[in-house]
Amino acid sequence: MDWVQYYDVSVPMRDGVELVCDVRLPAGRGPFPIVLLRTPYNKNVHPESTRMENISQYLDHGYGMVIMDVRGKYESDGEFPIMAFRREGDDGADTVAWIAAQPWCNGKVAMTGASYCGYVQVYAAREHPAALCAITPGVFGNDGFGNIVRRNGIPQMSLLIWALHHATGRVAKIFLLDWAKILFALPLRQLVEATGMRRTAVFDRWMRHNHDNRFWHSMGKVEALADLRVPVLLTGGWFDLYSSAVVDSFVFLQQQPHLKGKIALMMGPWLHGMGARESGELDFGPTAEVDITEVNRRWIDGWCREVEADPIPPVRYFVMGVNEWRRAEQWPPVATEEEFLLLACDCAANGLTGDGRLDDCHGTAATDRYIYDPAAPVINLGGNVLSFGEGMTAGPCDQRKMEERPDMLVYTGEVLDRPLEIIGFPRVELYVASDAVDTDFVARLCDVYPDGRSINLSTGIVRMRYRNGFDREDPMAPGEIYRVEIRLDVTAAAFLPGHRLRLEIAGSSFPQFARNHNTGGDNWSDPEYVKATQTVYHSAEYPSRLLLPVNPAGAEDVF
């Protein structure tokens, strides 16, 4: 299809700064409904790229397309307000109003995009621009301290690397650096300095605000989503950095009466880049391959065009293992029953050579111990991270290389004789002690295949200083026993007959999360670290256990 293109069009914001966009319109008579994408990743599109294919899909279906560089990036003026979403909200609302006033717009505007391009939609929608009809944000977080820059208060290293690439200048930096070496720099200030970046103030602020306070609230809280009024389609992946945040956002939105019938959720077996059939080391089959642009366009059709759109179920989710799509009216999609397995062993659960097990009764050993050394952390193999090449892979991967280590506790269940389907948030209740004043505990749920592969499904972490809340830091008393709960990433997976469940417990998952120095100091400026001896209790008095949201009915609504 032919279209008309206008390059480098300036759009004035309320403070006088001009942002720049490209406008593409279908050939023929307008006006048209417009789809807006605001991006920090460069509005300029190669004519043979996947991005151009996505643009063409909208144009072929009668939409105009506007792509804008956000403030301070590429062609646009001003300073990039990284993660300062109130600024992005104002800019987005001003842009929607400008588009609606153009003769080629019929007064209806939708927004699309994922990741940072998802955040800017949400915060523009909170400003209630009159012409905005629908948004389609994908793979985004909802809490600065809880799941965006940090996870439960712990710096997420892949997000910091993203910021080093994209947030320290007008254009993205492509570093020729040995990330595997640089990532181990302590403290984190040295990592930033090693890249040669001059603008480090943003990292200093992120790393020095060690409580959940007003600073972090400027990046959003899930409660801020209550201000949304327009229809919202949320998309995410089970192995994305923000998988749980997307589902939590949907759960919150479905509780808002004014959004009844206006929200939908789609979760697939994907990484941060959605839609592929392969993630990490697994191929989930042809049904996992989805055209996310088409999904978003169909949602926009239903709210921005006077055409009858195909009905979209409120919830669509992919169940891994059986590799099939399900639909539901809400989340949780089914009435799951929480079942638990106890952590147990008779000798020691250290590594694959230990006798750790998941069982319905306690073993003869009441404790397990390991030493967590920040200088030699357990490395995450894949997982819910942003992928940055070999130094930071994402998705489902075989964990056996790490499970051989004596500083990881490994608890494995019996071979299953029938499918076990879990849908939701697994949890781990641990009774722990340490000889350090602060430390981390990581829990990872894996699916052990008949050939021995141990594939990660879901991970969670707790930093002990935040065990009583993110608004304070409470040191541990060395040797004292504490009960902590770790919520793992949301998932939907079937453990098939012949497979086994496995739970890993470790002191780190690096470079997914910044290492705890065990000193009570901060990651940014404290160069000191010490080893910590960790004790996990599992007995009648201290029943550490894995809790699973089990779907007792199994597959019911396959499509």
Query: pLDDT digit string (tens) for 91-127?
Result: 999 999 999 999 999 999 999 999 999 999 999 999 9
- 497 or 306, higher pLDDT: 497
Q: Is 258 a catalytic residue?
A: no
What pLDDT does 557 receive? 42
Q: Among residues 475, 449, 361, 459, which one has the least CA distance to residue 408?
A: 459
Query: How far apart are alpha carbons 460 and 471 in whole angstroms?
Result: 20
Asked if pLDDT for residue 72 goes beyond 80, the answer is: yes
What pLDDT does 305 receive? 84
Asked if pLDDT for residue 234 goes beyond 90, the answer is: yes
Q: How confident is the model at residue 311 (pLDDT cuts 50, 70, 90)?
A: confident
What pLDDT does 175 receive? 60
Domain edges within the chain: 3-233, 337-550
Count the helix, strand and coil residues of the chain and give each as a percent rounded to the nearest 5: 20, 30, 45
Q: How confident is the model at residue 199 (pLDDT cuts 50, 70, 90)?
A: low
With b for 16 or more beta-carbon neighbours within 10 A and e for fewer, the 336-352 pattern comes to beeeebbbbbeebbbbb
Catalytic residue among 76, 115, 434, 544: 115
Catalytic residue among 76, 212, 244, 272: 272
Asked if pLDDT for residue 169 goes beyond 60, the answer is: yes
Asked if pLDDT for residue 290 goes beyond 50, the answer is: yes
At the topology level of CATH, where does 337-550 sit?
A: Jelly Rolls (2.60.120)
Largest CA distance in the chain: 79
Asked if pLDDT for residue 252 goes beyond 90, the answer is: yes
Q: Which two tokens stand for residue 63?
A: 């939409």
Q: pLDDT per residue over 357-395, tens digit each? A: 999 999 999 999 999 999 999 999 999 999 876 667 899
Q: Which CATH architecture has domain 3-233?
A: 3-Layer(aba) Sandwich (3.40)
Asked if pLDDT for residue 167 goes beyond 80, the answer is: no
Q: Which two tokens stand for residue 116?
A: 């940072």
Q: Is 56 a catalytic residue?
A: no
Q: Is 115 a catalytic residue?
A: yes
Q: Which two tokens stand for residue 91?
A: 């800019």
Q: Which two tokens stand for residue 327?
A: 């639909």
Within 13 Å of residue 340, how many CA atoms lie on the same side as its CB?
A: 14
Of all residues in the chain, the percent with pLDDT exceeding 70 is 96
Mean pLDDT, to the nearest integer, of 177-191? 80
pTM value is 0.96
3-state secondary structure at position 317: strand
Catalytic residue among 22, 91, 94, 240: 240
Q: Provide CB contacts within 8 A for 414, sequence distance 6+.
A: 357, 358, 359, 500
What pLDDT does 559 receive? 34
Distance between start and end Cα atoms, the chain: 33
Asked if pLDDT for residue 142 goes beyond 80, the answer is: yes
Asked if pLDDT for residue 558 goes beyond 50, the answer is: no
Mean pLDDT of the chain: 93
Kindly report which listed range (191-195, 490-494, 519-523) carries the lowest average pLDDT score.
191-195
- 310 or 301, higher pLDDT: 301
Asked if pLDDT for residue 555 goes beyond 80, the answer is: no
Q: Provide CB contacts within 8 A for 529, sequence distance 6+.
A: 186, 374, 375, 515, 517, 518, 519
What are φ and ψ of residue 8, in 5° steps?
A: 55, 50
Q: How confident is the model at residue 8 (pLDDT cuts 50, 70, 90)?
A: very high
What pLDDT does 205 receive? 84
Asked if pLDDT for residue 556 goes beyond 60, the answer is: no
DSSP result, 471-484: T------TT--EEE
What pLDDT does 82 receive? 81
Q: How confident is the model at residue 9 (pLDDT cuts 50, 70, 90)?
A: very high
Query: How far apart are alpha carbons 59 and 65 in whole angstroms?
Result: 7
What pLDDT does 553 receive? 82
Mean pLDDT, to the nearest integer, of 487-503? 98
Q: Provide CB contacts within 8 A for 196, sequence distance 6+.
A: none
What pLDDT does 289 receive? 98
